[in-house]
Structure formats: C-alpha cells, structure tokens
Chains A and B, each alone.
Chain A
Amino acid sequence: MSSYNFLVVDDSPTMRQLITFALKRIHNSQVTEANDGVDALKKLSGNKFSLILLDINMPLMDGLKLLSILRGNPSYNDVPIIIITTEGADVDREKALKLGANAYVTKPIQTNELLKVVKEFLKINE
C-alpha cells in the first residue's frame, strides 16, 4: 500500500491544523507542517514529499517565492504543489499557475473539496 508524505506550509496554526486534519483521512499519510517559506525549505531538505500545500501570504518568505525556488530545483519538479490562499483574484491565480503551481484553492476551504483535489493528483481511489 502506498504511503503519502505531505508538507503543509501556512503561517496560520488554525489552517495548518485544519488541513492536517483533512489529510490524515488519507490512509498511510504523514503530514509535516511549516509556518513559512524558510521553515518549509528546512523541512524539505532531506525529505521527500508526495505533495505540498502552500499558502501565499506568509512572513519571512511568501508562498510564491517558495514556489519559484521549488520549481527551479529539479528535485521538486515533479512534486504537485497546491496553493491555498485568501487571494481570489484571477491575476493571482494566473501568476501562481504560471510559476508552476498545479492547483489553486481559495480560502475558506471545504476540506472535502481539498481532499478531492489532493486525491486526484495522487491518483488515490478511496
């Protein structure tokens, strides 16, 4: 049976807990939390993640900066990245998708909808 390792990057503990809560519903899943881009880079080194969920507005290093760093690194090229943000404008969506995000989900999130997107990327049929 496959196991899944997720990285949730969000400065809001509430959001991290909510997303983690949702992801834990997937069998054999492990979730690592990071509270900003810098923290995420630390957690990424030496670890392989199945999927990254990334907020945009964060202190120290925002989500878009982290996204461009990850997409510039061949090791993370294949890792699906889902943006979860309060920014609902089309221009923000296009910017994130252009930088290499695989999906763009706006807050407030519906955890079941988020799970559907995650499962689609990982081809999970539960």
Chain B
Amino acid sequence: MSIEEKDIKEAELFKKVEEFLQVFKKGEEFTHELLKENERLRFKIVKLEEDLRSNKKHVDNSQVNLLKNTIAQLEEEKNYIVNKFKEVESENKDFAARYVEVEEENNNLANLYVASYQLHSTLDIHEVLKIVVEIIINLIGAEKFSLMILDEDVNELVAAASEGIDKGEIPNVKIGIGVVGNVAKTGENFFEKDFEKKRDELKEPLVCIPLKIKEHVIGVLVIYSLLMQKKGFNRVDFELFSMLAGHAATAIFSSRLYAQSERKLSTIQGFIELLSGKPKPK
C-alpha cells in the first residue's frame, strides 16, 4: 500500500471516528436530556402524589365531618322524637287512667242519682221503705239486712223493713245496747273489718249506718250479709251509704210526716163537716 492510499484510509478512518464521536456525543446529550426529563417527571410524580394525598385527606375529613354532623343531628332528632313519644305515651296512659276514673265516677254518679231520685219520688212511707230496700239489694248488693226505725215512745229501734230475714225474727234494739244500739246512740257508722269472721249475724252485723237528719238519728240500716258475688265494699258503696244516711232519713221522715198530716187533715175535715153538718163528698 502506498503512502497516499494509507493517508486516504487514515482520513476516512478519522472521518468515521469523527462521525462516531458526534453520534456518541448526540447520544450522550440525549441521555442527559432523558435523565433530566426523568428527574423532572419523578419530581412531578412525587409532587402530584403529595397533592393527591393532601387532597384526599382534606376531602375525607370534610365528608366525615359532614356525616358526623348529620349523625349528630339525626341523633338529636331521634332523641327528641323518643322523648316526644314517651311524653305522648305517658299522656296517653294518663288519659286512659283518667277515662277509667271518669267512667267509674260516671257509674257512681248514675247510682247516686238514681238512688236519690227514687228516694224522693214518693211520699208514701211503704214505697219509700221499698225503694230503700231495692237500693240496698240492687246497688249495694246486700243479701240479708233490715231497716230499723226509732220508736221514740219506747226509745227502741224496731224493724220497719227487711230482706233475707223475716221482720218478726229481728228483735227490737234499745238505744246504746249492742252494736246496732250503739250506732244509734253515737251516730257513727260501723263496718266489720273481718268479713270472713264467724258471727252471730243479728248481734254482730257487717254494717250499721245511722239514718240521720242533721245529728238526730231516726233509724239504723243494718246489713247482716252480702250477696255471694259481693266480696267487699268499694268507693261507690261508701258514697251510697253516706247518701242513704241522709236522704233515706229525710225521705222516711217526710213520708211519715206526710202520712201524719194526711191523717190529721182527714180528722179535721171530718170534724169540720160534723160541726157544719155537711157530709163529706164521696
């Protein structure tokens, strides 16, 4: 090989090296750029991840708070409704209890009204006694009882009406003697506490109620036994007893006065006719 050819080859080789070096340089530059880009992107990713995390945290907290508030509000509403429900329920119970009370009161008033109405519906002593007997059987539920009226001439109580026992079997009672006589003397009610106790019914009655006009005793209602279904006394019974004590007494007293005045009127009329010589129109 000649020197010229050698130089040419060297020049070509040199050119190729130059070209390779340029390519290599470009490659290096490109690699640098890629690395830079990579760095930038990684930084961006980190930043984005941080942003994302912080945003997520922010969103979660606000939602949780919102939900917490809603729950608290609902809880409050629930408590309010539960309290209101309890209030209404208690009011309801109260109304139900009051309704029962009013019904009972109504029942009691009906009994008292009817008893009082019937007692004052007549001036006939026999009818008055019959009504008192009816009231004691039907409204109080007594099985065996008597109505003892004071005979002021002998100061003794005499059976004027009875039920479940013959009037003739009931002995007269002296004022102040025995349970019945003592009730007539003191004017105080008597109630046997032990209904089951074995007793001599006539001497130890269950109930004695003095029939009084103001403080003046005109008789005694004596109950010896109750109907088998009647196990004791309730409020209306005591009210009936108290009503009977006054109203039966006035009804009996006024009917007796009326009968007396009728008799007197008839006597006076007969006397006047006798004096005037005019016969009584038939």
When chains A and B are docked, how far (Å) is the Cα of A107 from the Cα of B228?
10
- Structural contact, B114 and A17, CB atoms closer than 8 A: yes
**Which residues of B lie under 8 Å from residue A108 when comparing CB positions?**
138-141, 227, 230
Q: In the complex, A15 Cα to B140 Cα: how many Å? A: 12
Point out the residue from B107, B121, B134 that lies within 8 Å of A15, measured CB to CB. B134
Give bound CA distance, A39 to B22, whole Å.
142
A34 to chain B, nearest CB (A): 16
Q: Mark A87-111, 1 if CB is under 8 A from B, else 0.
A: 0110000000000000000111111
The chain B residue sitting closest to A90, CB to CB, is B228
Contact of B138 among A12, A21, A22, A89 (CB under 8 A): A12
Are A14 and B114 touching (Cβ within 8 A)?
yes
> Is A124's CB within 8 Å of the partner chain B?
no
| Nearest CB of chain A from residue B200's CB, rounded to whole Å | 24
* B residues contacting the other copy or chain, number (CB 8 A): 25
What residues of chain A lie closer than 8 Å to B104, measured between beta carbons? 112
Residues of A within 8 A of B107 (CB): 110-112
Number of residue pairs across A and B with beta carbons under 8 Å?
60
**B146 at interface by CB-CB < 8 Å:** no
Contact A21 B110 (CB under 8 A): yes
The answer to whether A14 and B141 touch across the interface, beta carbons within 8 angstroms, is no
| A72 contacts chain B at the CB level, 8 A cutoff | no
Residues of B with C-beta under 8 A to A12: 134, 137-138
> Which residue on B lies nearest to A55, using beta carbons?
B138
Task: Indicate if the CB atoms of A14 and B139 lie closer than 8 Å.
Answer: yes
Query: Which single residue of chain A is at the shortest CB-CB distance from B113?
Result: A21
> Are A112 and B103 in touch, CB under 8 angstroms?
yes
Give the chain A neighbours of B134 by CB distance below 8 A: 12-15
Q: Closest CB-CB distance, A52 to chain B, in whole Å? A: 18
> What is the CB-to-nearest-CB distance from A107 to chain B, in angstroms, rounded to a whole number?
5
Q: Does B106 contact A (CB under 8 A)?
A: yes
Task: Report whether over half of chain B's contact residues are helix, strand or loop; otherwise say mixed.
Answer: helix
Q: Does B159 contact A (CB under 8 A)?
A: no
**Which residue from B115, B121, B139, B228 sits with its C-beta under 8 Å from A88?**
B228
Asked if A69 CB lies within 8 Å of chain B CBs, one says no
List of B residues within 8 angstroms of A110 by Cβ: 107
Asked if A28 is an interface residue, CB under 8 A from chain B, the answer is: no
Residue of B nearest to A109 (CB): B138
Q: Closest Cβ of chain A: how far from B193's Cβ, in Å?
A: 21
The CA of A21 and the CA of B115, in the complex, are separated in Å by: 12
Q: Which residue on chain A has the smallest CB distance to residue B139?
A: A108
Question: Provided the pairs A15-B134, A108-B138 are in contact, do residues A88 and B227 lie with their beta carbons within 8 angstroms?
Answer: yes
Q: Does A86 contact B (CB under 8 A)?
A: yes
Counting CB contacts under 8 A, is A18 at the interface? yes
What B residues does A106 contact at CB under 8 A? 227, 229
B131 within 8 A of A: yes
A86 to B230, CA, bound (A): 10
Closest CB pairs A-B (n = 5) = A88-B229, A108-B141, A14-B134, A88-B228, A18-B114
Report B's interface with A, CB cutoff 8 A.
103-104, 106-107, 110-111, 113-115, 117-118, 121, 131, 134-135, 137-141, 143, 227-230
Chain A interface (Cβ within 8 Å of chain B)? 12-15, 17-18, 21-22, 86, 88-89, 106-112
Query: What are 12 contact pairs spanning A and B, CB under 8 A?
Result: A13-B118, A14-B114, A14-B118, A14-B138, A14-B139, A15-B134, A17-B114, A108-B138, A108-B140, A108-B141, A111-B106, A112-B104
